[in-house]
């Protein structure tokens, strides 16, 4: 399963609908994310919760056993294609750069994507739930 930034943030900020995301992060076996999505989460959490939030993020990544994979050139090509196809201002999905990176990893690995929101529902990515 590929983890998008939105799923991590839902759990870290204890959002009202975070239970299914927390369940998948705790229960699913193989979990991966891109370094770009991990960085995006780190920036957002740091901005809202400071250093304590950043430590919470590191703990969640560790406890959930989310492996941050290297972003390869093949993934870069897939992310660029996702932007051309689904990018903000181009398509109802309105994917941003981080979204395109998560999409690329899910496509590259032919795996499901755990995400919050409606953006990816307008794409062909495999949804976790």
pLDDT at 85: 96
pLDDT at 43: 98
pLDDT at 90: 85
Question: pLDDT tens for residues 104-126?
Answer: 999 999 999 999 999 999 999 99
pLDDT at 92: 86
Rg value, the chain, Cα: 14
More confident residue, 24 or 91: 24
Question: pLDDT tens for residues 46-99?
Answer: 999 999 999 999 999 999 999 999 999 999 999 999 999 999 888 889 899 999
Rounded mean pLDDT of 21-29?
Answer: 95
Q: Burial code of 75-89, b = ≥16 C-beta within 10 A, e = fewer?
A: beebbeebbeebbee
CATH number of this structure's domain 2-127, picked from the four choices 3.40.50.1010, 2.40.110.10, 3.90.1150.150, 3.60.20.30: 3.40.50.1010
CA triplet 62, 22, 70: central angle to 5 degrees?
A: 45
Distance from C-alpha of 82 to C-alpha of 61, rounded to nearest angstrom? 26
pLDDT at 42: 98
**Where in the chain are the domains?**
2-127
């Amino acid at each position: 399963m590929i983890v998008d930034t939105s799923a991590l943030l839902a759990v870290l900020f204890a959002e009202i609908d975070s239970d299914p995301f927390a369940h998948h992060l705790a229960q699913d076996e193989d979990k991966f994310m891109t370094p770009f999505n991990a960085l995006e989460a780190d920036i957002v959490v740091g901005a809202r919760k400071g250093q304590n939030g950043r430590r919470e993020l590191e703990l969640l990544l560790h406890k959930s056993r989310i492996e941050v994979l290297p972003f390869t050139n093949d993934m870069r090509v897939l992310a660029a294609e996702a932007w051309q196809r689904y990018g903000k201002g181009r398509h109802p999905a309105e994917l941003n750069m981080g979204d395109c990176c998560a999409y690329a990893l899910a496509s590259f690995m032919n795996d499901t994507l755990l995400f919050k929101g409606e953006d990816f529902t307008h794409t062909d990515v495999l949804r976790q739930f």
